[in-house]
Amino acid sequence: MNPFSSGTRLRDMIRAIRACKTAAEERAVVRKECAAIRSAISEHDQDYRHRNIAKLMFIHMLGYPTHFGQMECLKLIASAGFPEKRIGYLGLMLLLDERQEVLMLVTNSLKQDLNHTNQYIVGLALCALGNICSAEMASDLAAEVERLLLTKDPNIKKKAALCSIRIIRKVPDLAENFLSPAASLLKEKHHGVLIAGIQLCTDLCKVSADANKHLRKNCTEGLIRILKDVSNSSYAPEYDIAGITDPFLHIRVLRLMRMLGQGDADTSEYMNDILAQIASKTESNKNAGNAILYECVETIMGIEATSGLRVLAINILGRFLSNRDNNIRYVALNMLMKAIAVDSQAVQRHRTTILECVKDSDASIRKRALELVFLLVNDTNAKPLTKELIDYLEVSDQDFKGDLTAKICSIIEKFSQEKKWYIDQMLKVLSLAGSYVKDDVWHALIVAISNAPDLQGYSVRSLYKAFRTSFEQVSLVRVVVWCIGEYGEMLVGNVGVLEVEEPLTVTESDTVDVLEACLTGHSADITTRSMSLIALLKLSSRFPPTSERIKEIITEHKGSIVLELQQRAIEFNSIIQRHDNIKSSLVERMPVLDESAYMVKKANSSQENIVAVKSSQMSLAGTSVTLPNGVAKPPAAPLVDLLDLSSDDALVPTSTSKDFLHDLLGIDLTNSSSSGFSIAPSGGTDILMDLLSIGTPVQSDISPETVSSNQGFAPTTKPTPTTVQVLDLLDVLPSNGSVAGDQSPLYPSITAFQSSTLKIMFSFKKHPEKPQVTEIHATFMNLSSDSYTDFVFQAAVPKFIQLHLDPASSNHLPANGNGTITQTVTVTNSQHGQKPLAMRIRMVYKVDNQEKLEQGQINNFPPGL
């Protein structure tokens, strides 16, 4: 026998643990006990097994791991005596949960115990099964439990009934097996069996419509009789609670009646009298009575009750609502939410009381009341209710402000009929609880202001005023910053003053003060500060007198340790210093934001995320490729690869027309008719895959430079002046002009193509430091007497040459050589000095809307290119 485990009794261990003064001491005692129990387990000590499990249960409650005792529970359950089994089952329920595999091992013992002759052992097994059985165990043992439902002993019967509930919750398919024994339980007299039986019937109704039908047909009458008997019974000391006989039975019968009466007028009608009796006669001065009334009201709301009965129910709730007991008020609010669906007018009558409950000191009641108020808002009462709620927002608890703000905002958004009201209310919320406002709410406000030209001045002035008192509210500050940036001059110039406004004098430097405060305030986050920088940049163009000061503020942030701020400051500084001429157009007011599109976007924001990921992948693949020679390539459009640019004679279309897709189709059409090009459509291949196919086997033999040129083979449908401009602003690129200056044409111009209708001249430029690169200036001339429209020049080169087409000067070519189109073509010959330049060209244009096509090959390039 183990000397340790025999040493301490359960009582002694608990005493020892309680005597511990520190957590460390407690851990030491527990560790010692656990060690003793473990060694007892490994020695298969039988005498003290039940004591060890009892100890483990206590240790388990303290939160220590006790999994090593699980098998011991199974051994105890398997032993013959009642005391061992009793503690074994208790340990099983406490130390295991239904998800543990070990549990399956107990199935056999359970089966034996369910068939035991001792009713208390059967009871133990039923209790354990009912509390922790898994779906597998439920299926395995359902037959035993079903049989036990029919035994005589009420103790076993009620336990089997509750056990059946667990079984059908786990395996709803078994429900029909239990239907007829469950229905017969309703004829019992024993309250325990009745309660368990009624509960089983309720659960059967939940999982099976057939069961509901069957019980409605056969048991409604019996149920009503049970309720009548119990509510009219004289004093019964065994079941009496506060003068009511067995409120638990009352409540369960009422609940099952709700299941049966739902959606069935006849059954509901049948229940009318007894419900009216319960609703009007039950004592409501004690909790037990109120619990019955509460359940009764819910049943009346749930079934197809007569209007008289519903009035009775709503009146009970009204009484509850004015009760002094917080519990009663809470359940009243809870039930009124369900009552709205039945009779919203009746609930509206209690609006004032409900609104008072929003301001209750009890968080649970406040929360319920707020949910209810939210359901009560309609077009007619939205304004006063919003006012009440906003007034309360000012004094409410910090913990409650988040919920309250969210609800107020959604009421305002949902019920605003006029923009000014919306803006006013949002402004109030922002100044009272701006820190709790979600991002999408203030974004929506900005969109709304942007769409209300006649209120922009008013908004920016109100915001300015609000800012002076509530500068610590994050969302408010952001809206203020954005609006001052956009509508600063309306603030200073008092544009669009409404009649209700008080006059306000704001100087230009005041606005800069605000932004500076937002930028440097210690509580400001990066978003706010970044927004402030943009707003400052905008103001520097609108208010020239302040530009010097703004420049200083921006300069200060050039050394900011926050990368985002530093970058913005440097970029903006560059704009202010070097590009004053374009500044005003750069910082123009934002175009009006599309309100309906924003609302749709907001609604689909979950989907939006997925799309955003996709489009970012796209743009990643399509971002401009900066080649080693410093020429920024425009992004390759995803569709380009559909034309399979890896073919030898890659075709580069260029167009000034906006219709890019049309162009692509045009190319495809003409190509299929021309024999010179092999175009294999990469049908079915993912565009993205294609874009990323730099390393695919097809192209693996190509030098990296050529490959990147493939990416660059973009139809430059739209010139990209913005990219160039921005790069230029940042002085990344050397100015083109200066390079051109010290460059002399070394090569003679050629006539690249001439037909009866069209002449193309090429002139060449070369950078001395980059012999491979040739800049070709193409000049197109119309020799016919009709003018050409939609003129598009396309060129293709062999693989070893890289081609880049700049946008053409125009797509319209006047007749009779009265004007020209020029276009710059840059070619990089990777085999410079070994192979000469070669090029195929094609010109597509329209004469009187007739599509024309000309093509040719250029072989007469001057040598040395």
Q: Which residues bind other proteins (CB under 8 A)?
A: 11, 14, 18, 54, 57-58, 61-63, 65, 81-83, 86-87, 90, 93-94, 97-99, 120, 123, 126-127, 130-131, 155, 158-159, 162-163, 165-166, 169, 191-192, 195-196, 199, 238-239, 241, 246-249, 251-252, 255, 287-288, 290-291, 294-295, 298, 326-331, 334, 361-365, 367
CB of 584 to other proteins, least distance (A): 56
CB of 369 to other proteins, least distance (A): 12
CB nearer to other proteins: give 128 or 474. Answer: 128
CB of 249 to other proteins, least distance (A): 6
CB nearer to other proteins: give 337 or 815. Answer: 337
CB of 263 to other proteins, least distance (A): 17
**Would you tell me the crossing angle of helices 191-207 and 154-170 to the nearest 10 degrees?**
20
CB nearer to other proteins: give 118 or 617. Answer: 118
CB of 404 to other proteins, least distance (A): 15
Beta-carbon-side half-sphere exposure of residue 148 (alpha carbons within 13 Å): 30
Q: Which helix (H) or strand (E) holds 458?
A: helix 456-469
CB nearer to other proteins: give 82 or 577. Answer: 82
What is the layout of strands, in order, in the sheet containing 789-797? 650-653, 789-797, 839-847, 850-858
CB nearer to other proteins: give 21 or 99. Answer: 99
CB of 439 to other proteins, least distance (A): 25
3-state SS of 173-205? Answer: HHHHHHHHHHHHHCCCCCHHHHHHHHHHHHHHH
CB of 296 to other proteins, least distance (A): 11
Nearest CA among 720, 717, 711, 663 for reference residue 842: 663
Give the separation between CA 374 and CA 378, rounded to whole angstroms: 9
Q: Are 430 and 442 in contact (CB under 8 A)?
A: yes
CB nearer to other proteins: give 240 or 343. Answer: 240
CB nearer to other proteins: give 362 or 705. Answer: 362
CB of 105 to other proteins, least distance (A): 18
CB nearer to other proteins: give 10 or 688. Answer: 10
Cβ neighbours of 43 (radius 10 Å): 11
Q: Are 5 and 40 in contact (CB under 8 A)?
A: yes
Give the separation between CA 549 and CA 562, rounded to whole angstroms: 22
CB nearer to other proteins: give 255 or 842. Answer: 255
Encoded amino acid at 737, one letter:
G
Give the separation between CA 724 and CA 582, rounded to whole angstroms: 14
Nearest CA among 844, 850, 716 for reference residue 792: 844
CB of 253 to other proteins, least distance (A): 12
CB of 416 to other proteins, least distance (A): 30
Cα 49–chain centre separation = 53
CB nearer to other proteins: give 43 or 97. Answer: 97
Alpha helix (H) residue ranges in 79-134:
82-95, 107-114, 119-132
Give the separation between CA 714 and CA 506, rounded to whole angstroms: 52
CB nearer to other proteins: give 127 or 618. Answer: 127
Q: Which helix (H) or strand (E) holds 846?
A: strand 839-847
CB of 246 to other proteins, least distance (A): 5
Q: ∠622-633-734 over CA atoms, to 5°?
A: 140
